[in-house]
Chain A
Amino acid sequence: MAFLTTFFCPEGGHFALALACALAFMQGVLPLIGLRRADSPLTALARPLALSQCLALLFAWVCLIMASLGDDFSLKLIAETSAINKPWAYKIAGLWGNHEGSLLLWVTLLSLWCAGLALLPGQSTTRPEKLPDRLRARILALLGLVGAGFQLFCLTTSNPFLRLWPVPADGMGMNPLLQDPGLAVHPPLLYSGYVGFAVPFAFAISALLEGKADTLWARYMRPWVISAWALLTLGITLGSWWSYSVLGWGGYWFWDPVENAALIPWLTGTALLHSVLVVEKRNLLQGWCLLLALATFAFSLSGTFLVRSGILNSVHAFANDPARGLFILGLLGLYGGGSLLLFAIRAPSLASSQSGFAPLSREGALLLNNILLCTLCAVVLTGTLYPPFMQLLLGRTLSVGKPFFDATTIPLTLPLLAVMGASMALPWRQARTDRLIPRLAPALLVTAGNILPAFWLFSTPLAAFAALLALWVISSALLDLIFRLYALPEGNRQLHRLPRSLWAASLAHIGVGVTILGLCGMAGSQERLIEAKPGTHTTLAGRDWELTALTPHHGPNYEAVEAHLTIRQHDAHGPLLAELEPQIRLFPQQGQKTLHVAILHRPLEDLYAALGSVKEEHDPQGQSHYSAILRLHENPLASWIWLGGIIMALGGGLHLLPSRRRLMHSARKARS
């Protein structure tokens, strides 16, 4: 053990980080020189350099984790965010809940993506569909350049390995709000998504440098877009889940700049996901696809880093330091601005096929999807940047919130859903209306048949309308699978014989529909704020909610009061539905109170209770009585919002598995 702590000491981590930075520079420069000179030894260095850079960063992580577990408060980072009595799992997970640690996580994830690229089997005669070595070397080199810049940033302005003197006896402890299992997984997932879009970015730069973006290029790039997209989807889903279940405000999305910062690349990433298909199948829209690949990564970078610079007013922002902000802006200018400049110079001369573009075709629907998604993205971007720009230009403080975003995003989302349902049934090139109508009729019938139930079940006409569109998306995705099944030759009509990509697309679309249904349900959520003494009954959403007791509760590093709520169907004598135990926790070390929300998830609704505060009153006999302020919610279909997110990501994941046909193909090749 002693040997381990000496070996993985903070200085070792610091050295590993510096080494990784040097390796990243080499990974960025040497293969490019090799490619230019047609010198294959230098080119072949890309893969080993990427792997060793990744190992160096993982070593740095082991050092940091050892220091955190060993309560080494001589490290500034650990003294500021950890404490002796912090549960050990959060001693690890808490490392990325701050600026320095999350930056280290960012560069490490980038190096993991590079390692993934380096380790995957390359192109060979048996695997013609894989990435050719020269393209891979160029992409690794570009990713090395990106990584090198950010590792330099990490080393110079946000070093997690800085020492502190004098050494404090105990740390300051972690923000209790961040002490949640969801938060242990949320940043790594979200960052993997953000960082993952660096790979399509490198593909786009490579295409611009070569002056060629063709169907092959799109086919090589597509799996990387999908995997980054799936991870970003999961990350956003988890973030929204965290704000619903931990912040205790009863909502799931607050249009906070940080949330928008994740949503913007998700929107462009989704557009990229679809436009790359058009390039692959029809060799159209190359310039647009390139721009989306560049923009998605530029937005990911801005999203991760602009928030830290203090420009955007957000509840999430960590330590704001304008000196760091300038460095970040420099990097953003270099990577984002530089790549857009390259685009401005090279994109006009890109070869594009001159073939026509029928409006009623798969590519037409995908183009419409791209236009709507990018408009949505522009709207969210405007809403996010409007306040700081207004203050800069006119000196006026204002806030842009839910009313603006609701009024602008909903009218764009509804046509998007309508197109989505029809798109799967449209063939490439040119659709024939006489074939299209019977194809779409069943889904239309299902939707039309549910008009009355929808308007009866959902709280507002708008929610009902959106829910019908979601139903249209889900039913057309499911029915499309059935149609394609019947298009298979007889005897082969098994669901697993359908192409994996079809399953993936259907699943992702179903996920969107499920999420939208959840949002529509949540529009009808009911809540009540009550002041209650033990024994008080309240009626909400046809249930009887009784506060039975208020009891003290001791946690590892907090003191809490727990409210015991009994929920019965109909009235006070109805069958027992649930018992909820929300807490209010006081963390003495930080002097901070947090709500610990109690939620019962049911398939069609969430029952949600938050304990706001507890009051003590003395009666004339000197006895003390407690009363509590409680917020009770009934949230219809709430869990569907996140379930849909998971289904979308699963669709993405399914796409990445090698298809059955390809597996059989390569097996046959290997045998012969």
Chain B
Amino acid sequence: MRLTRRHLLAALPALGAAGLGIGFVRMLHGLNQGHFDPRAINTPLTGQPVPGFPALPPLPDAPGLPGLTRENFQNIKKPVLLSVWASWCLPCVEEIPFLRQLAASLASDATPLELWGLCYKDQPARAAHWLEQAGHPFTRLGMDQDGQGAIDWGVTGVPEAFLIMPDPQAGGRIVWHGTGALTETIYQTQIIPHLEAKP
């Protein structure tokens, strides 16, 4: 039998399927061994330096609200509370009154904290509308439209929050990671102790 172009073409689907099959077998093997987990997002990063993540652009048409990059954490002077939110998420709306209140208190007294935001998989127009309602609580805001930033941070859902302490060598160190809407109680019991523990 002479091999023709027809033979090669007809063998392509089988070869493709074989490639996929080998991949699947290796994935299953990895699942059994525990070193492959498609559900694993990076585990919460408490105690670790700020992870590498792609530069997140600012909202268009929002002067005075710069975007968010890894380098921003390098030279922070004050602890940063990074809030991960989206305008489509119900608990994030529950969070609004508290964030508004926190932002107001940050502006008035000398609470040594900055409030930054990471806007997860959201449309810029809706995010802008949300911020208008919320009274602009953030001093930095990164738009994470494809969700890659959130994956790098190990975010499992919105809303979540991280507390980052200044650490020039590490470029900022995460000391606390909370899931769910931020409330006054959580702030008082979980975040304040970290702020006061600061040497």
Chain B's closest residue to A347 (CB) is B10
**Given A310-B31, A329-B25, A341-B14 contact (CB < 8 Å):** yes
Smallest Cβ distance from B137 to chain A, in angstroms?
A: 16
Is B38's CB within 8 Å of the partner chain A? Answer: yes
Q: Is the CB of A329 within 8 A of B31?
A: no
Is A340's CB within 8 Å of the partner chain B? Answer: yes
Q: Which residues of chain A are near B14, meaning CB under 8 Å?
A: 337, 340-341, 343-344
Q: Is the CB of B39 within 8 A of A311?
A: no
Q: Is the CB of B24 within 8 A of A397?
A: no
Q: Within the assembled complex, what's the spacing in Å between the Cα atoms of A267 and B151?
A: 31
Listed stretches A14-22, A384-392, A638-646; interface member: A384-392
Listed stretches B71-79, B85-93, B160-168; interface member: B85-93
Listed stretches B15-23, B106-114, B169-177, B191-199; interface member: B15-23
Q: Within the assembled complex, what's the spacing in Å between the Cα atoms of A200 and B66?
A: 58
Q: Is the CB of A629 within 8 A of B121?
A: no
**Given A325-B31, A337-B18, A287-B10 contact (CB < 8 Å):** yes
Is B96's CB within 8 Å of the partner chain A? Answer: yes
Chain A's closest residue to B13 (CB) is A340
- B132-180 with Cβ < 8 A to chain A: 145-148, 151
Q: Is the CB of B28 within 8 A of A337?
A: no
Q: Is the CB of A391 within 8 A of B145?
A: no
Q: Within the assembled complex, what's the spacing in Å between the Cα atoms of A530 and B129?
A: 12
Is A193's CB within 8 Å of the partner chain B? Answer: no
**Given A343-B10, A347-B10, A401-B121 contact (CB < 8 Å):** yes
**Given A343-B10, A344-B13, A344-B14, A313-B39 contact (CB < 8 Å):** yes
How many residues does chain B have at the interface if contact means C-beta atoms less than 8 Å apart?
A: 39
Q: Is the CB of B96 within 8 A of A344?
A: no
Is A271's CB within 8 Å of the partner chain B? Answer: no
Chain A's closest residue to B32 (CB) is A322
Q: Which residues of chain A are near B90, meaning CB under 8 Å?
A: 529, 612-613, 629, 631
Q: Is the CB of A329 within 8 A of B21?
A: yes
Mark contacts of B111-131 with chain A using CB atoms, 8 A cut-off: 1 yes-contact digit, 0 otherwise: 000000000010000000000
**Given A401-B146, A401-B147, A615-B94 contact (CB < 8 Å):** yes
Is B36's CB within 8 Å of the partner chain A? Answer: yes
Q: Which residues of chain A are near B32, meaning CB under 8 Å?
A: 322
Is A269's CB within 8 Å of the partner chain B? Answer: no
Q: Is the CB of B91 within 8 A of A613?
A: yes
Interface of B is mostly: helix
Partner of B28, one of A325, A343, A403: A325
Q: Within the assembled complex, what's the spacing in Å between the Cα atoms of A291 and B14?
A: 10
Q: Which residues of chain A are near B6, meaning CB under 8 Å?
A: 347-348
How many residues does chain A have at the interface if contact means C-beta atoms less than 8 Å apart?
A: 47
- A371-390 with Cβ < 8 A to chain B: 385, 387-389
Q: Is the CB of B27 within 8 A of A333?
A: no
Is B42's CB within 8 Å of the partner chain A? Answer: yes
Q: Within the assembled complex, what's the spacing in Å between the Cα atoms of A340 and B30?
A: 26
Q: Is the CB of A389 within 8 A of B23?
A: yes
Q: Which residues of chain B are near A401, meaning CB under 8 Å?
A: 121, 146-147
- A326-342 with Cβ < 8 A to chain B: 326, 329, 332-333, 336-337, 340-341
Q: Which residues of chain A are near B21, meaning CB under 8 Å?
A: 329, 332-333, 337
Chain B's closest residue to A294 (CB) is B13
Is B186's CB within 8 Å of the partner chain A? Answer: no
**Given A311-B31, A348-B7, A397-B40, A392-B13 contact (CB < 8 Å):** no
Smallest Cβ distance from B155 to chain A, in angstroms?
A: 11
Q: Is the CB of A348 within 8 A of B10?
A: yes
Smallest Cβ distance from A612 to chain B, in angstroms?
A: 3
Q: Is the CB of A337 within 8 A of B17?
A: yes
Q: Which of B14, B96, B148 has the most CB of A within 10 A?
A: B14
Q: Which of B13, B39, B87 has the most CB of A within 10 A?
A: B13
Could you write out 7 A-B pairs with CB less than 8 Å apart?
A311-B28, A322-B32, A329-B24, A329-B28, A340-B13, A347-B10, A348-B7
**Interface residue ranges, B against A (CB under 8 Å):** 4, 6-7, 10-11, 13-14, 17-18, 20-21, 23-28, 30-32, 36, 38-42, 87-88, 90-91, 93-94, 96, 121, 145-148, 151
